[in-house]
């Protein structure tokens, strides 16, 4: 019973920050790569960040690189996404997942078996 629970979203002004959390259970979290995805209305869900099993390697989509940082705490079965300098274009539903497929640059693809409920991030003034 793999479970993922995202939290930490909310309404922020442009330039603000949020930290998203993903609590994982039901699988060997510390041995699996993980990723963050986001989905805007009427758009496909896309991977924006990935992290390897021990957190030593990360990948970030070009439009979030330098603003977002993915990290993990395997002792707590937690995945995080620190989001700084948020922009209106970051408004989306954010999801975490175990990743299994990747694009040419190593970013996770949305070929995911199980999703959490997601957490909404809205960036607006």
Residue 63 scores a pLDDT above 90: yes
Please provide the average confidence, as pLDDT, over all residues in the chain: 97
Tokens at 30, concatenated: 């510390």
Distance CA 48, CA 26 (A): 24
Residue 16 scores a pLDDT above 90: yes
Q: What is the pLDDT of residues 21-41, one digit of tens each?
A: 999 999 999 999 999 999 999
Residue 68 scores a pLDDT above 90: yes
Tokens at 69, concatenated: 């940082």
Per-residue model confidence (pLDDT) at position 85: 98
Residue 115 scores a pLDDT above 90: yes
Q: What is the pLDDT of residues 40-49, one digit of tens each?
A: 998 999 999 9
Distance CA 118, CA 110 (A): 14
3-state secondary structure 10-46: EEECCCCCEEEEEEEECCCHHHCCEEEEEECCCCCCE
Residue 1: pLDDT band by 50, 70, 90 thresholds?
Answer: confident
Tell me the average pLDDT across 105-114. 94
Which of 46, 56, 51, 54 shows the shortest CA–CA distance to 89? 46
Residue 81 scores a pLDDT above 90: yes
Distance CA 71, CA 51 (A): 7
Per-residue model confidence (pLDDT) at position 14: 98
């Amino acid at each position: 019973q793999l479970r993922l629970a995202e939290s930490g979203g909310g309404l922020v002004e442009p330039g603000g920050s949020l930290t998203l959390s993903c609590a994982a259970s039901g699988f060997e979290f510390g041995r699996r790569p993980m990723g963050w995805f986001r989905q805007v209305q009427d758009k496909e869900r896309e991977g924006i960040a990935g992290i390897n099993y021990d957190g030593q390697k990360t990948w970030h989509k070009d439009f979030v690189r330098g603003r977002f940082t993915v990290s993990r705490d395997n002792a707590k079965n937690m995945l995080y996404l620190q989001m700084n300098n948020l922009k209106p274009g970051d408004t989306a539903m954010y999801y975490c997942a175990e990743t299994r497929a990747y694009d040419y640059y190593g970013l996770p693809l949305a070929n995911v078996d199980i999703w959490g409920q997601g957490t909404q991030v809205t960036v607006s003034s």
